[in-house]
Structure 1
């Protein structure tokens, strides 16, 4: 079929996204074609344009946060029907590899190839200017249609608004799970969350669901500091220094039980102030993606080791997509999870470069591209 998509032809050059005609092949074995309702704008897509995630191939069709309705089934598809509403998980889960069977579906072996530039079978479904186009994270939601493997699909109930559900494919569970699972926050804990964009704001919600007593957020943008309180922050400050003084006061000098880093880009200098704010025996969670070339990290190793702290990396919030995506939908339905408030502004696909610039400028918690269903 013919449609349009937003492509990067020169990764790492900040050349921006080109919205142009594309062709999408019919679904093959264990694949479905989906008409999308919306796609979130995530910093991970921008990393391809800036070069923080270097890709040796092009072109790429971006987008990895989406939700929509299944329109066509390929051969060998089970568990899904035409008309089903689905969220696209930015990391697939096959259900039978070692990581999936031990409860670490976020580390599914199938997901190791999401930046390879092909569909899981090593071929292309999308074509532009006479050549194959690689989908970001096997998805490519910067197009109103996608053909994807069913291992990237999670069925949801039809009463959940699809434009909101799109965010549950990446940013929502990544932040929420960082607090719920990776940090393992305990009732009454003091938690610091560094960065309150589309991921960090959901870490705030996760900390609230875990029963944290104090939730301190750090963000230089006044708008985000105010919004953090709506999502459950008890205190919101501008920088590390203000947070350190506040946490010291509320913890009798002991420090935060948990610090979660969810900034847009993780640079090495951000880690040591966070670990200095973490109490003895506490946990520091790093969720943010760093530039691949980032190697220098000033870090007080002596204090870190002697105080028994834990540094925990968190991919996709350590969630299990097939369990946690429907769970978040149910929490939203019951009024216990905020999705509507995450969307600051909506855009047409042709406005994608404006949407990305708004994200870089800190204007949005989440910008969303909407499509006509």
Structure 2
């Protein structure tokens, strides 16, 4: 492309400091260096983790920053040494990079990558940023930074997807859908005829329900204080839904009573210590598995005896998927209609209305809002 090797000026939503409103700015995006890829974004989802970062709940996030991590786009140019990606490819930037060479990447028990974990959060591997605005360096976010018309990511943080993929709702595979769906299939390994409880019926929680249904769970209980989400939860596979505010006893106690001792699998998709404990206590004392998915900056405290009886407590990052290998497969499964991402999309807005998208998130009136560039 004619822009290859050149600085690109484009629009981006810059967050200058914690709790500051999004500012639509003209930024400069530098060309990709060795083993880097520059991407023209087509669409991006709004995820609760973006909101938590905006609020300053995660110390690793540095300001000023370009947030966003659930995108899909087309490769504009590549740096030296990039082997498997070329300009014009449809791609998904990856929040969970995969170098393919480190101890973790080679181990089937994890989808973490030591190479990325050893690098400074918010900067590329050489310790610099590819974004500038008003003469100032702007930090990257979660290896992706998708709230911009163009972004630069490392080769290990991008997955080439099917050329037939739609460049819209498929962006949800970049985070929310894959995280929830994989937590059921890969992390918990939900078995047929099992019982499951899902705490939090946002995009991730609903994706967990989809995974539990495909795995053959017999009873899927959705838990949320917003009853407006119950219909879609049931449409996607929940057999029943519970609003904790409707009862005068703890929701975990209600679930224990209704399931005869607790569920086989409990999933926490909110990111609150209180719901993490509720999920843990709602699992069967002898063999229940609880999976924590929601990101939280709070501290979790509980009596270890609750685990010594036989319960298992796990966490799930990006649903356990080996990103570069398995994101393309998930896109292919979507194209084969094995799951319906459209069920998770309630709103679509032009990118410039990003603040309106976050207002919808705060209101609880949306599941996923997709911003179109």
TM-score (norm 2): 0.92
> In the alignment, does 2:299 pair up with 1:295?
yes
8 Å contact kept, 1:272–1:300:
no
1:198 corresponding residue in structure 2: 203
- Cα deviation for residue 170 of structure 1 reads 0.8
Q: 1:255 aligns with which of 253, 262, 265?
A: 262
> In the alignment, does 2:139 pair up with 1:164?
no
What secondary structure is seen at the aligned counterpart in 2 of 1:354? helix
Q: 1:221 to 1:71 in 2, by over 3 A?
A: same
- Cα deviation for residue 242 of structure 1 reads 5.8
Within 2, Cα distance between the matches of 1:213 and 1:244? 20
8 Å contact kept, 2:78–2:86:
yes
TM-score (norm 1): 0.92
Within 1, Cα distance between the matches of 2:101 and 2:67? 28
List per-residue Cα deviations over 1:111-145 (Å, max 9, x = no partner).
32677221122111010110111111121100111
Q: 1:345 to 1:47 in 2, by over 3 A?
A: same
Q: 1:296 to 1:319 in 2, by over 3 A?
A: closer
8 Å contact kept, 1:257–1:278:
yes
- Cα deviation for residue 247 of structure 1 reads 5.7
> In the alignment, does 2:360 pair up with 1:353?
no
Q: Which blocks of at least 5 consecutive residues in structure 1 are unaligned?
A: none
Q: 1:204 to 1:365 in 2, by over 3 A?
A: same
2:365 corresponding residue in structure 1: 363
- Cα deviation for residue 48 of structure 1 reads 1.7
> In the alignment, does 2:151 pair up with 1:146?
yes
CA RMSD of aligned residues (A): 1.8
- Cα deviation for residue 347 of structure 1 reads 1.6
Q: 1:366 to 1:113 in 2, by over 3 A?
A: farther
8 Å contact kept, 1:115–1:137:
no
- Cα deviation for residue 244 of structure 1 reads 4.8
List per-residue Cα deviations over 1:191-219 (Å, max 9, x = no partner).
00101112111111111121111111111
Within 2, Cα distance between the matches of 1:234 and 1:247? 16
1:278 corresponding residue in structure 2: 283
Q: 1:178 to 1:100 in 2, by over 3 A?
A: same
Q: 1:209 to 1:51 in 2, by over 3 A?
A: same
Q: Which blocks of at least 5 consecutive residues in structure 2 are unaligned?
A: 1-7
Within 2, Cα distance between the matches of 1:259 and 1:296? 16
What secondary structure is seen at the aligned counterpart in 2 of 1:179? helix
8 Å contact kept, 2:61–2:121:
no
Q: Which runs of 4+ in 1 moved over 6 A?
A: none
Aligned length: 361
List per-residue Cα deviations over 1:297-328 (Å, max 9, x = no partner).
3x3433x1342101101111121112331222
- Cα deviation for residue 54 of structure 1 reads 2.5
> In the alignment, does 2:270 pair up with 1:268?
no
